[in-house]
């Protein structure tokens, strides 16, 4: 919430006006805060010497500037460049890099003549002498991670680093960026604007990572701008350069190193993974700046009525923020919190003014969450960071509870303290479209808890609400903001609670909230994994498939992985069909139907009526599930279900603790490992080895029942626990009544084996004989390859003097433009060629050539050669040769599929023999993605 609103105008209208004015003021401010780089800039000059103290190396220069290299760990280093030669100016101090004492490394220093080499078992840093520049390699001193293309410059108010860019290098990070997460060729503001529109940055972080195998965090509070072009230009508004670098063998490695230094993502209380709702329930307060006459919102205890409504509607949700600070305040907070707790809800507050009363609110009244409002911490940077820290301390210093704080202005390191969300957005299809990559992309900066208000804070509709809730149920933390949306369900209400919508919307909302509650042990385990490794629960496809060229880029930004098992492809337009779902290599089971698809490739025409979220489960998945409940603790977990997609060998380690206190930090937790062995194809035995839970915590059950659902295309021959055969049951009713046994339902998701093994606290092994692994339907047969990611690598000639004959016109999707080789001046002789980067690797099986369409005839291609390759330096033999007709019609050339990323067309002759020219309107191709 952003602005005070008098009663004279409807709240949404004034709120929009306030945001517009704020955006205008911010834009003006940013013009001052982020001016264009000065024309003249200084550099360090040449390196003149190096000294060391342990693993710290100081480089002197000809200009009086100095550089300091700190090797903190074999794969972590700091490069600090000081224009005045002093290293006393460190505004970030220990706020961002909180863990740097990893012990002595014993780095080596070598003077090679042209550069100093500082090396560890993981990396080799070259300090080039003339001029001073840096380049980081792996330990082999040959595999480049990054290199400065020119010396770092400073102007007195800005410092900019320039890096070379590899031919296929991709970049990710910069915090909660509102839009696509693959950043190559994008310029990203690393600055607080509070605009909350597409391509702004809601919670910026001065961190990015590269597919080259490194990440970097600028150790600063200053705003900046990162341009991921060639060269890559990285600027911050300060007269110093200070950066931490993290080398890794994968993006996950880099996130682990980054969070080793800046802090691991916090582990939220388990109720924090349930749906929350924020609204003012003390509207009668004269100081309140909104509508004083809202029904059922007169005093804070009115929220208990809404809690009762949720439970009566059998609708899972877990917490309320029953005030907004803008004069709303609260009455009888202790009584309200106690009554909400009786109904399974926790209470939190959000504030626009600060936290002066948090000791009493937490310690006496029982509040357990804080939302830091932009009216208080909207200045961002250290102000916001300190506000979040104060909220964390207010909760943890006054209770045994865990931190659960929401902030709209995060920075590097915020992952250890708070949930970040996308700000005041609207419930529209377009906003939903860019929210999907925004929230998945936040994880590429280790922000495990990233969210956006369900259906936005403004506007919205029953249909957008349903679709938005569906996919956000697969993210760790989510919340609704009531009071500012469209009137619902009648005049006087602007509620966005899921139970206040009419049918069929209410039932659809219930369906996905029920599913999330059943998946709570899986999602909680994923969040614990994030707090251990920095790898988020909500994952951009590239995190799980870093070697898949399609997954590396924004063609997959409209979907994500929920943990390591679920692929979620949200529907973000008013349609009942989902196109463009990318399934990476392997087998994927439709969660709803059980149909198996085999990737890699694109799935189009997927039937997705309003109640169906496209959802796929990875082969080998082992997913723990609770009994159905509306809030954590409503029922004992007397039976734990493992939902399994048997294929090959797989494992899962379930994490459990008390879910509420910080005792887990002292080891009060348990793990249970489950291993599955199954055939990769065909029919065979499936073995599920369930380990005994190891470890202990308050409330841990001594024993519990187990249930298993295993997808199989055939009924088993027999089912055993250890050496004891389980009875075959006649059907679902007999199964429900039994304590042990099994039955097979061929109609349940294309075939499901249901098994109850009884109650135990010990390890055991379940064996089902003669199960059949379902056969997958191959997706991604040959289809048109989108030109979106294409670029011209080389064209040997272009006519630009007399007309725009740029080669890029041949792949711009516009038949009215054309590539024409040079004809003015000295025309280049045939043959001519164009080389195209397809942006990813494909099995290409046809190319279509469209001659110029402007009425001209010269340059029509006659004889030709076509090549497909993984390298522009080694094309091999042509995939096709021939002669195009001397007409304006398109010609498709089909050939045996050839894998490669690059396409080459060589024009050997001109069709009409009119001259040494080549022209082309469009070049398109078909194929299927390949790893």
Least confident of 202-211, 261-270, 820-829, 862-871: 820-829
Mean pLDDT over the full length of the chain: 93
pLDDT of residue 641: 98
pLDDT tens profile 611-650: 999 999 999 999 999 999 999 999 999 999 999 999 999 9
Tokens 């990710």 belong to residue: 172
CB-based contact 299:331 (threshold 8 Å): yes
Q: Is the pLDDT of residue 31 over 60?
A: no
Q: What confidence tens digit (pLDDT) does each residue in 118-150 have?
A: 999 999 999 999 999 999 999 999 999 999 999
Cβ contacts of 222-225, under 8 Å, gap ≥ 24: 222/91, 222/381, 223/30, 223/33, 223/34, 223/189, 223/190, 223/191, 223/192, 223/381, 224/34, 224/189, 224/190, 224/191, 225/34, 225/187, 225/188, 225/189, 225/190, 225/191
The distance from CA 373 to its chain's CA centroid, rounded to whole angstroms, is 24
pLDDT at 420 over 80: yes
With a cut of 80, say whether residue 813 has pLDDT above it. Answer: yes
Main-chain phi, psi angles of 94, to 5 degrees: -100, 15
pLDDT of res. 851: 96
Judge whether residue 18 has pLDDT over 80. Answer: no
User: So what's the pLDDT on residue 485?
Assistant: 79
Q: Which of 832, 795, 791 is nearest to 916 (CA)?
A: 832
For the segment 715-721, the average pLDDT, to the nearest whole number, is: 98
Asked if residue 729 has pLDDT above 60, the reply is yes
Q: What pLDDT is attached to residue 23?
A: 45
CB atoms within 10 A of CB 861: 26
User: If you average pLDDT over residues 861-881, what whole number do you get?
Assistant: 96
Distances (CA, A) of 338 to 301, 306, 343, 347: 10, 15, 9, 9
Tens digit of each residue's pLDDT (9 = 90 or more) over 648-700: 999 999 999 999 999 999 999 999 999 999 999 999 999 999 999 999 999 99
Residue 22 confidence (pLDDT): 43
Residue pLDDT, tens place only, 537-555: 999 999 999 998 889 999 8
Say if residues 771 and 717 touch (Cβ distance below 8 Å): no
Higher pLDDT, 608 or 482: 608
Write the DSSP string, 409-478. Answer: S--TTGGGT-EEE--S-EE-HHHHHHHHHHHHHHGGGT--SEE--TT-SEE--HHHHHHHHHHHTTSS--
Residues 176-217 have pLDDT tens digits of 999 999 999 999 999 999 999 999 999 999 999 999 999 999
Residue 34 has a pLDDT of 46
Query: Is 412 in contact with 406 (CB distance < 8 Å)?
Result: no
H helix intervals, 659-817: 732-737
Across residues 477-490, what is the average pLDDT?
84
Residues 91-117 have a mean pLDDT of 97
Cis check: omega of the bond before 254, within 30 degrees of 0: no
3-state secondary structure of 333: helix
Residue that wins the pLDDT comparison between 543 and 40: 543
Is residue 27 over pLDDT 80? no
Distance CA 127, CA 116 (A): 5
From its phi and psi, is residue 78 left (phi > 0), alpha (psi between -120 and 50) or beta?
A: beta
pLDDT of 352 reads: 87
Q: Residue 487 above 80 pLDDT? A: no
- Please state, for a pLDDT cut of 70, what percent of the chain lies above it: 95
pLDDT at 494 (0 to 100): 82
Task: Give CA 295 to chain center in angstroms.
Answer: 39
Paired tokens of 325: 């600070």
- The per-residue pLDDT for range 496-550, each reduced to its tens digit, is 999 999 999 999 999 999 999 999 999 999 999 999 999 999 999 999 999 988 8
Element of type H or E holding 626: none
pLDDT over 70 at 3, yes or no: no
Rg (CA), the chain: 30
User: Is residue 906 over pLDDT 90?
Assistant: yes
> Quick one: pLDDT band at residue 414, thresholds 50, 70, 90?
very high
The answer for residues whose C-beta is within 8 angstroms of residue 582's C-beta and 6 or more apart is: 541, 550, 551, 555, 556, 559, 599, 600, 601, 602, 603, 929
**Mean pLDDT score, 284-312:** 94
Q: Has residue 16 got a pLDDT over 70?
A: no
Q: What is the pLDDT of residues 66-81, one digit of tens each?
A: 999 999 999 999 999 9
Amino acid 512: pLDDT? 98
Residue 602 has pLDDT above 80, yes or no: yes
Give the model's pLDDT for residue 20: 44
Helices (H), 155-314: 251-262, 303-312
pLDDT of residue 489: 66
Q: Is the dihedral of CA 290, 294, 296, 299 positive or negative?
A: positive
């Amino acid at each position: 919430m952003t602005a005070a609103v008098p009663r004279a105008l409807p709240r949404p209208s004034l709120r929009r006006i306030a945001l517009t004015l704020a955006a205008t003021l911010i834009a003006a401010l940013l013009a001052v805060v982020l001016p264009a780089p000065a024309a003249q800039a200084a550099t360090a000059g040449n390196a003149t010497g190096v000294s060391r103290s342990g693993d710290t190396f100081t480089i002197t220069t000809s200009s009086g500037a100095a550089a300091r290299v700190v090797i903190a760990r074999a794969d972590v280093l700091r490069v600090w460049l000081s224009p005045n030669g002093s290293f006393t100016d460190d505004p970030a101090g220990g706020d961002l890099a909180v863990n740097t004492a990893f012990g002595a490394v014993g780095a080596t220093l070598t003077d090679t003549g042209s550069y100093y080499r500082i090396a560890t078992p993981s990396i080799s840093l070259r300090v080039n002498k003339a001029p001073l520049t840096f380049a980081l390699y792996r330990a082999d001193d040959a595999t480049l991670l990054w290199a400065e293309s020119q010396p770092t410059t400073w102007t007195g108010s800005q410092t900019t680093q320039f890096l070379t860019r590899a031919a296929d290098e991709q970049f990710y990070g910069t915090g909660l960026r509102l839009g696509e997460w693959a950043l190559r060729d994008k310029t990203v503001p690393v600055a607080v604007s509070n605009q909350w529109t597409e391509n702004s940055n809601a919670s910026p972080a001065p961190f990015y990572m590269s597919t080259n195998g490194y990440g970097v965090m600028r150790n600063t509070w200053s705003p900046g701008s990162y341009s991921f072009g060639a060269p890559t230009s990285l600027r911050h508004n300060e007269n110093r350069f200070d950066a931490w670098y993290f080398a890794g063998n994968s993006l996950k490695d880099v996130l682990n190193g980054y969070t080793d230094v800046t802090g691991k993502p916090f582990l939220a209380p388990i109720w924090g993974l349930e749906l929350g709702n924020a609204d003012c329930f003390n509207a009668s307060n004269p100081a309140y700046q909104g509508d004083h006459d809202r029904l059922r919102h007169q005093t804070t205890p009115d929220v208990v009525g809404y809690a009762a409504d949720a439970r009566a509607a059998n609708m899972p949700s877990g917490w309320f923020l029953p005030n907004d600070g803008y004069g709303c305040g609260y009455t009888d907070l202790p009584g309200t919190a106690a009554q909400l707790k009786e109904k399974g809800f926790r209470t939190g507050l959000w504030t626009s003014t600060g936290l002066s009363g948090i000791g009493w609110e937490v310690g006496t009244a029982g509040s357990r969450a804080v939302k830091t409002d932009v009216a208080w911490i909207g200045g961002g940077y250290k102000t916001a960071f300190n506000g979040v820290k104060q909220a964390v301390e207010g909760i943890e210093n006054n209770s045994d509870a865990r931190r659960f704080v929401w902030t709209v202005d995060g920075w590097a390191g915020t992952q250890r303290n708070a949930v970040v969300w996308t700000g005041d957005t609207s419930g529209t299809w377009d906003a939903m479209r860019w929210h999907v990559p925004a929230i998945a992309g936040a994880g590429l900066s280790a922000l495990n808890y990233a969210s956006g208000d369900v259906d936005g804070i403004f506007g919205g509709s029953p249909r957008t609400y349903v679709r938005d809730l569906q996919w956000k149920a697969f993210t760790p933390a989510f919340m609704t903001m009531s009071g500012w949306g469209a009137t619902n369900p009648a005049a006087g209400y602007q509620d966005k609670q899921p139970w206040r919508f009419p049918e069929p919307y209410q039932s659809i909302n219930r369906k996905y909230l029920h599913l999330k509650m059943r998946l709570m042990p899986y999602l909680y385990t994923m969040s614990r994994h994030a707090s251990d490794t920095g790898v988020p629960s909500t994952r951009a496809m590239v995190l799980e498939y870093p070697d898949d060229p399609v997954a590396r880029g924004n063609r997959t930004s409209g979907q994500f992985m929920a943990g390591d098992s679920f692929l979620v492809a949200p529907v973000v337009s008013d349609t009942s069909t989902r196109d463009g779902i990318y399934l990476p290599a392997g087998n994927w089971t439709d969660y709803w139907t059980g149909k198996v698809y085999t990737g890699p490739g694109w799935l189009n025409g997927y039937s997705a009526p309003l109640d169906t979220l496209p959802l796929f489960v990875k082969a080998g998945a082992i997913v723990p599930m609770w009994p159905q409940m509306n809030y954590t603790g409503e029922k004992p977990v007397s039976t734990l279900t493992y939902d399994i997609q048997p294929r090959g060998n797989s494992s899962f380690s379930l994490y459990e603790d008390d879910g509420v206190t910080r005792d887990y930090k002292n080891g009060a937790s348990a793990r249970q490992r489950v291993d599955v062995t199954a055939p990769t194809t065909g029919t065979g035995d499936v073995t599920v080895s369930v380990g005994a839970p190891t470890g202990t915590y308050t409330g841990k059950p001594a024993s519990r029942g187990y249930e298993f659902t295993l997808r199989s295309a055939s009924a088993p021959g027999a089912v055993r626990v250890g050496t004891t055969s389980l009875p075959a049951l006649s059907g679902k009713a007999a199964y429900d009544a039994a304590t042990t046994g099994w039955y097979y339902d061929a109609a349940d998701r294309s075939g499901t084996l249901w098994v109850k093994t009884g109650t135990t606290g010990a390890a055991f092994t379940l064996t089902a004989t003669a199960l059949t692994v379902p056969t997958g339907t191959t997706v991604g047969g040959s289809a048109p390859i989108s030109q979106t990611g294409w670029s011209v690598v080389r064209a040997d000639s272009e006519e630009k003097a007399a007309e725009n004959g740029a080669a890029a016109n041949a792949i711009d999707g516009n038949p009215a433009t054309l590539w024409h080789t040079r004809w003015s001046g000295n025309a280049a002789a045939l043959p001519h060629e164009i080389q195209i980067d397809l942006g990813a690797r494909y099995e290409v099986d046809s190319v279509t050539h469209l001659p110029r369409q402007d009425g001209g005839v010269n340059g029509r291609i006659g004889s030709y050669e076509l090549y497909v390759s993984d390298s522009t330096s080694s094309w091999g033999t042509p995939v096709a040769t021939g002669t195009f007709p001397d007409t304006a019609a398109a010609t498709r050339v089909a050939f045996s599929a050839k894998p490669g990323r690059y396409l080459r067309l060589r024009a050997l002759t001109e069709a009409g023999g009119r001259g040494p020219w080549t022209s082309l309107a469009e070049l398109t191709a078909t194929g299927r993605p390949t790893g």
